[in-house]
């Protein structure tokens, strides 16, 4: 399988974002978004997904974090879509349960070519640090729409909002890792009876 790397830039009147991704990386993150808690969550994705991410984002944070968080999800999704290629030989599906103290989350992903986000999370606080917890949905919606994946996210339990979010992002990284791995038994075949994804 050839190198699965991609770099995507997205410039709008609200944000300027550049994302580089290496799906076969070592779990390294270089990240500056101006949204500290989001940086912390992206570190979980890189580390637990064994994906190298290089992210630079400048946005209209003087208004709020919304445009930066949403557009980062979009740009990250575009980079994944480009890096994954035609999906031959990958596992395609990934899932993970991740606990952190009292919190437990499950994430399931399918590189199906069909965007869909199904997120069942009731955060116990409206903000974590300065980040509005509603923006996690915006991030994942941007990602699934542009990576063209189906993504199910369930926070099964938890009363600490930081723990809820961290289990979600760790599980997201682990599910990504599983889904994009090369399947030696698939040997370059398309993981679909349709013949394409």
Task: State pLDDT tens for residues 176-185.
Answer: 999 999 999 9
Q: How confident is the model at residue 1 (pLDDT cuts 50, 70, 90)?
A: low
Q: Is residue 196 part of a domain?
A: no
How many independent structural domains does the chain possess? 1
User: By CB neighbour count within 10 A (0-12 exposed, 13-18 middle, 19+ buried), where does 188 fall?
Assistant: exposed
pLDDT of residue 157: 98
Task: State pLDDT tens for residues 119-142.
Answer: 999 999 999 999 999 999 999 999
Q: Is residue 186 part of a domain?
A: no
Q: Is residue 78 part of a domain?
A: yes
Backbone torsions φ then ψ of 189, nearest 5 degrees:
-80, 160
13: containing domain: 5-180
Q: In this structure, is the dihedral angle defined by the CA atoms of residues 10, 49, 43 and 153, taken in order, positive or negative?
A: positive
Give the CATH number of the domain where residue 74 resides: 3.30.230.40
**What's the chain's Rg over C-alpha atoms?**
16
């Amino acid at each position: 399988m050839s190198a699965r790397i991609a770099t995507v830039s997205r410039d709008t009147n609200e944000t300027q974002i550049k994302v580089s991704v290496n799906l076969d990386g070592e779990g390294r993150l270089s990240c500056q978004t101006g949204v500290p808690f989001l940086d912390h969550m992206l570190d979980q994705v890189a580390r637990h997904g064994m994906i190298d991410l290089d992210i630079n984002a400048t946005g209209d944070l003087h208004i709020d974090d919304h445009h930066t968080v949403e557009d980062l999800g979009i740009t990250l999704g575009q980079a994944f879509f480009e890096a994954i290629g035609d999906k031959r030989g990958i596992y395609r599906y990934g899932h993970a349960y991740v606990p952190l103290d009292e919190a437990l989350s499950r994430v399931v992903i399918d590189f199906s070519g069909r965007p869909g986000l199904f997120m069942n999370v009731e955060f116990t606080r409206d903000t974590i640090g300065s980040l509005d917890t509603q923006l996690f949905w915006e991030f994942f919606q941007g990602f699934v729409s542009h990576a063209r994946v189906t993504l199910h996210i369930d926070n099964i339990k938890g009363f600490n909002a930081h723990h809820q979010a961290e289990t979600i992002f760790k599980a997201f990284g682990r599910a990504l890792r599983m889904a994009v791995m090369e399947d030696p038994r698939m040997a370059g075949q398309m993981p679909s009876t349709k013949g394409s994804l």
